[in-house]
Amino acid sequence: MATKQAPDKAAMYTASDIQVLEGLEGVRKRPGMYIGGTGNDGLHHLIYEIVDNGVDEFMAGECTKVSINILEDGIVRVADDGRGIPIDIHPKTGISAVETVMTTLHAGGKFGGKAYTVSGGLHGVGASIVNALSSSLRVEVYRDGEMHHQEFSRGKRTTDLISEPVDMFSKETSGTIISFVPDPKIFRAINYDFGMLTKRFKEMAYLNKGLEINFRSDWHSDLQPNNHVTYLFKGGISQYVSDLNENRSVLHKDPIYIESQINGTKVEAALQYNDNYTEFVFSFANCINTEEGGTHLTGFRSALTRVINDYARKQSLIKNSDPNLSGEDTREGLTAVISVKLTDPEFEGQTKNKLGNPEIRNQVETAVSDALRIYLEDHPQDAKRIIDKCLISQKAREAARKARDLIIRKNAMDGGSLPGKLADCSDKNPENCELYLVEGQSAGGTAKMGRDRNWQAILPLKGKILNVEKAREDKMLAHEEIVALTVAMGAGLGEEFDLEKLRYHRIIIMTDADVDGAHIRTLLLTFFFRHMNPLITNGNLYIALPPLYRVGATNKAKWAYSDEEKDQLVAQASGRRSKTAIPIQRYKGLGEMSAEQLWETTLDPEKRTLLQVAQGDALEADQTFSLLMGELVEPRRDFIQSHALEVQDLDV
């Protein structure tokens, strides 16, 4: 319960203490409320907001092309060939419509439903937000045979709207060009990420079939001539799914494409099954990537599970006495894209990660159910292959459940004991502890002797673990090394993985510096990516970097972690010793080191080098693992041949 303040203290809090921020001052005061933050994501959000306006024009049928250019000096220039922002006087504000849009929150053509049926953007506040957070901004509008331009700084106009005639060849030209410089007073660093931007623009082009998006960045001059891309996908999201499955063996040649208009909502979906074991489904609402899903994704999944079960029972592919396929069974090996475009989207949170409109679930469920039922009936061979895969998935999932239960029961019968070959640490606080996954029994034994027993645990791994990219979960759970690793970490697998139960907050992969060591490291990374992904996204996974060479006499030896570093050490030592040969020892295996050397180079936190495993683009990571570790040989061979000359430090 709050205690009552003394009158003199209470009197200190009056109406004068309530601050009223006018215009766009609130945006500059709290930019994170509008763009999510002032780091790289927030910086890129400014570009997306202006590009979204061009995409809105395309969705309204008034635009064919959006061009983005980051100039060498960091100015961002976005142009579209839409109708151009209106320039006449706004009846409510008394100033031009273009100035109203650029300086007033919640001013735009996205609210009345007349100019735009659907739209992306931050609920119509995009242009004014960008203006508020830019040190300078210039807008150019081409319409009615004239070019109109106006300039702003930090949300306030610095010039009046100026109109100029255009030459006779440009009189039919229409559109908007916005050039801006993100304010260095707001953004800690101006660092445009070419890969992140191209990914977003490519995504937009897939979701709007027929829209051309050009992106050029002179800021990234080091990437020339690869700093310019053009995206135009006439196949839309169906082509998106085909491209996602490019390196996978598919069960049916073409994606199943669904398109429907229900009560003003446009529903699009494309799906295709492959022989992989991973589900990859992406959902969008008004071209916004809803990474946390929402009602549209729920409707899609519900329809998929129900229709497949209904068809399978109708065709007697599932016996009356057998249970239905679960949602997980029907989504194994599924690649799909769901896109809805609606008038009044309700997003949870300003960053639009989850769609909340309750009516969308039924609309998507109806559209997908009707179209998928027709497809299965018209394509019985494809339907049989899909359902056969679902049934195999069901059996494997049940076998995996039994294997997981067996592991849990065995653990309980053993008193919750850890794997016998695990040398655990004495500290039980996970924040202080780390687990080394060491290649081979010999190196494991050396590491056990060289470690600090208080907080370092060692788990030796025998040989190469299973390639989980080619194996279902039931087979994976029968693999001795994977079981030992899972039990030692204590956090479970897959959807049941729980970071809160992780026994060590640093999991460190330590393998030999040769081809076999690199292969074992890749197999482990594949396992963690597929079945313990939060370990990567939360920053708990590391790779130890043991030295390649020891240079110099025993009492004065130095360690080299690369050929370049070795050459530098040899050159330095040669300057001091003109005649005597410099001793150089190449380490290929961790077992070649003594316990003291292993501590000094790879275990001692004061001297060791650890590489933290990070996940940038999850989609790109998925495609890379599928390419390099999957079943198809030809794409992998093509990749190796095209990148063969880029290989360095090849050890065969």
What pLDDT was estimated at residue 648?
A: 60
What pLDDT was estimated at residue 581?
A: 72
Question: Measured between alpha carbons, how far is 109 from 120 in angstroms, rounded to an integer?
Answer: 12
512 is catalytic: yes
C-beta separation of 235 from 242 below 8 A: yes
Span 508-532, mean pLDDT?
Answer: 89
| The pLDDT of residue 555 is above 80 | no
Q: Letter for the amino acid at 142?
A: Y
What pLDDT was estimated at residue 17?
A: 41
Identify the weakest region by mean pLDDT among 184-198, 273-287, 337-351, 365-379.
Answer: 337-351
C-beta separation of 624 from 280 below 8 A: no
What pLDDT was estimated at residue 23?
A: 62
Span 394-422, mean pLDDT?
Answer: 71
| The pLDDT of residue 437 is above 90 | yes
- Give the dihedral of Cα atoms 382, 387, 393, 394; nearest 10 deg: 180
Calculate the alpha carbon distances from 494 to 101, 398, 477, 481, 527 in Å: 47, 15, 12, 17, 10
In this structure, what DSSP letter does residue 499 have? G
What CATH class is the domain 236-397?
A: alpha beta
What pLDDT was estimated at residue 554?
A: 66
Per-chain mean pLDDT for the chain: 85
SS3 for 232-261, per residue? CCCCHHHHHHHHHCCCCCECCCCCEEEEEE
| The pLDDT of residue 140 is above 70 | yes
The active-site residue out of 452, 514, 592, 631 is 514
469 is catalytic: no
Question: Measured between alpha carbons, how far is 80 from 212 in angstroms, rounded to an integer?
Answer: 10
By DSSP bridging, strand 212-217 and strand 228-231 are: antiparallel
Span 215-242, mean pLDDT?
Answer: 94
Which residue has better confidence, 562 or 383? Answer: 383
The active-site residue out of 382, 398, 516, 622 is 516
Residues ≥6 apart with Cβ < 8 Å to 403: 474, 477, 478
Q: What percent of the chain has pLDDT over 90?
A: 50
Question: Measured between alpha carbons, how far is 298 from 280 in angstroms, rounded to an integer?
Answer: 15
pLDDT band at residue 618, thresholds of 50, 70 and 90? low
Cis peptide before 635 (omega within 30 of 0): no
Q: What percent of the chain has pLDDT over 70?
A: 84
Residue in the block written with tokens 């309980």: 412
Span 493-504, mean pLDDT?
Answer: 88
Measured in whole angstroms, the distance separating CA 49 from the mean position of its chain's CA atoms is: 19
What pLDDT was estimated at residue 59?
A: 86
222 is catalytic: no
Question: Measured between alpha carbons, how far is 343 from 113 in angstroms, rounded to an integer?
Answer: 7
Question: Measured between alpha carbons, how far is 468 from 625 in angstroms, rounded to an integer?
Answer: 10
CATH code of domain 25-231:
3.30.565.10
By DSSP bridging, strand 134-143 and strand 146-153 are: antiparallel
What pLDDT was estimated at residue 572?
A: 77
Question: Measured between alpha carbons, how far is 18 from 21 in angstroms, rounded to an integer?
Answer: 10
Question: Measured between alpha carbons, how far is 135 from 153 in angstroms, rounded to an integer?
Answer: 5
| The pLDDT of residue 89 is above 90 | no
Which residue has better confidence, 633 or 28? Answer: 28
pLDDT band at residue 411, thresholds of 50, 70 and 90? low
The sign of the CA dihedral 606, 607, 609, 610 is: negative
Radius of gyration, CA atoms only, the chain: 30
| The pLDDT of residue 133 is above 70 | yes
The active-site residue out of 140, 329, 332, 439 is 439
CATH architecture of the region 418-546+611-643? 3-Layer(aba) Sandwich (3.40)
Q: Letter for the amino acid at 346?
A: E
498 is catalytic: no
Q: Where are the domains of the chain?
A: 25-231, 236-397, 418-546+611-643
